[in-house]
Amino acid sequence: MKRPDWWRSDATAPFRLGPRMLPGRVWTASGCFGYGLAAHDFTAADCASPYAGLGAVVTKTVTPLPREGNPMPRLVETPCGALNSIGLENVGFDAFLTTVLPELEARGVPTIVSLAATTPEDFGPMVRRLHDAASGFRHWHGVELNLSCPNVAEGGHDFGSSPATVARCVAAARADLPDRALLAKLTPNTADIAQLAVAARDAGVDAVSAINTVVGLDVDLRTGQPYLPRRFGGYSGAAILPIALAKVDQIVRGTGVPVVGVGGIATVEDALKFFALGAVAVQVGTAQMRDPFAAARVAAALGQWSSS
């Protein structure tokens, strides 16, 4: 597409987010690009690398202990999106810290670590250990608190939809994260996302990420039962883009809290819609699963305008 007249920024230039300079405004979203390592040798004729121009890879959410996740099947495609019920399968914080994060650093992948926990107070120790182990890392830029994954019973629904809990999580993490960006990822499954954003800001985040997946369900017509063993899944992809835009607008105009826009972004046009509403950065989720170069392509398209 052509550069829109109103577009003045350079999304591939470094920008400040709280205490930290990040290398760009186009990121990959948590859970849709693994730990950011699986595609390191992928090539494409039209794009230098899956990491070219990225501001950050937000890692799959890491929990204190390893998790095996939910029973299969975990994914259902719908006509304009998908439902997932992965259940936060991850290697656990220890393995992440000793194995994954050093490799990301070694490969120079700009990284935001996504964390989830069962109680707000669990965030403190994780962030402290991160800080201790990785304070010298140049490519570790921050932490995103996943306060919104609807697939995990103990940390699900109510966890992230109470402003007070959001505040406690943020406060616990902020205390030990003086020099990296701190983000809270908010749930859209609430009537008032703006008040969650305010709670997060007041407790010390540098930005909020919005949105995580929307609660959805699909029925297998052969059985008349939901496809997913846990009935509900997290709805993502193109279908939720207008919902994400609405939530981002509610936060930006309602509160002024800096927002990283997530939800349904696959193309530069999609990303621009979030920037138009005032998002400071964007994340590409589901589209990154289809195309490991999706975020890099968005960054390339935006970057090309800055030089023209």
Partner 1 sequence: MTGRPAAVAAFGKVIANELVSSAFHRLDVVLDVPFAFLPGQFVMINEPGPRAWTFSRPFSILAGDGDTVALLYRVVGRGTAALAALGPGSPVSVLGPLGEPFPAPAEGQVTVLLGGGVGLPPVFAWWRRWGQPGDAACFGARHAGEVPWGLLGDTWRVSVDDPAGLAAGHRAASGVVTSLVADDAELPDGPRVVTLACGPWPLLRAAAALARRRGWRCWVSLEEHMGCGYGVCKGCVVRVADGGHERNATCCQDGPVFDAERLPGLVGSDLPTCGDGPTGAKGGCA
Ligand X SMILES: Cc1cc2nc3c(=O)[nH]c(=O)nc-3n(C[C@H](O)[C@H](O)[C@H](O)COP(=O)(O)O)c2cc1C
> Where on the chain is the footprint of partner 1 (CB under 8 A)?
31-34, 38-39, 41-47, 60, 68-69, 72-75, 77-82, 84, 86, 89, 237-238, 286, 288-293
**Residue 142 and residue 112 in contact, taking contact as beta carbons nearer than 8 Å:** yes
Q: Give the nearer residue to partner 1 in terms of CB position, either 44 or 164.
A: 44
Q: What is the spatial distance between Cα 252 and Cα 131, in angstroms, rounded to a whole number? A: 30
| Of the candidates 122, 192, 114, 127, the residue with the CA atom closest to the CA atom of residue 154 | 122
Burial readout 260-297 (b: 16 or more C-beta within 10 A, e: otherwise): bbbbbbbbbebbbbbbebebbbbbbbbbbbeebbbbbb
Fill in the per-residue mask, 133 to 162: x = in contact with a second copy (CB under 8 A), - = not in contact. Answer: ------------------------x---x-
Cis (ω within 30 of 0) for the bond into 211? yes
- Select from partner 1, ligand X, a second copy, none the partner in contact with residue 8, using the beta carbon and a kind-dependent cut-off of 5 to 8 Å: none
Q: What is the spatial distance between Cα 209 and Cα 183, in angstroms, rounded to a whole number? A: 7
| Interaction site with ligand X (CB under 6 A) | 29-32, 60-61, 84, 86, 88, 114, 146, 149, 185, 212-213, 234, 236-237, 240, 262-265, 284-287
| Of the candidates 41, 33, 75, 80, the residue with the CA atom closest to the CA atom of residue 58 | 33
Q: Within a 13 Å sphere around the CA of 252, how many CA atoms are in the beta-carbon half?
A: 19
Selected range binding a second copy among 53-61, 66-74, 123-131, 223-231, rule: CB under 8 A:
223-231
User: Minimum CB separation from partner 1 for residue 139, in Å?
Assistant: 19
Selected range binding a second copy among 33-41, 52-60, 124-132, 213-221, rule: CB under 8 A:
213-221
- Output the 3-class SS for 122-149: HHHHHHHHHHHHHCCCCCEEEEEEECCC
User: Minimum CB separation from ligand X for residue 149, in Å?
Assistant: 5
Q: What is the spatial distance between Cα 28 and Cα 56, in angstroms, rounded to a whole number? A: 7
- Select from partner 1, ligand X, a second copy, none the partner in contact with residue 30, using the beta carbon and a kind-dependent cut-off of 5 to 8 Å: ligand X
Q: Is 47 a catalytic residue?
A: no
The answer to whether 168 contacts a second copy (rule: CB under 8 A) is no
User: Minimum CB separation from partner 1 for residue 74, in Å?
Assistant: 5
User: Which position has the token pair 């929990």?
Assistant: 63
User: Minimum CB separation from partner 1 for residue 192, in Å?
Assistant: 28
Residues tagged active-site: 149
Site residues for a second copy per CB under 8 A: 1, 4-7, 78-81, 83, 157, 161, 189-191, 214-219, 221-226, 231-232, 235, 238-243, 245-246, 249, 269, 272-273, 276-277
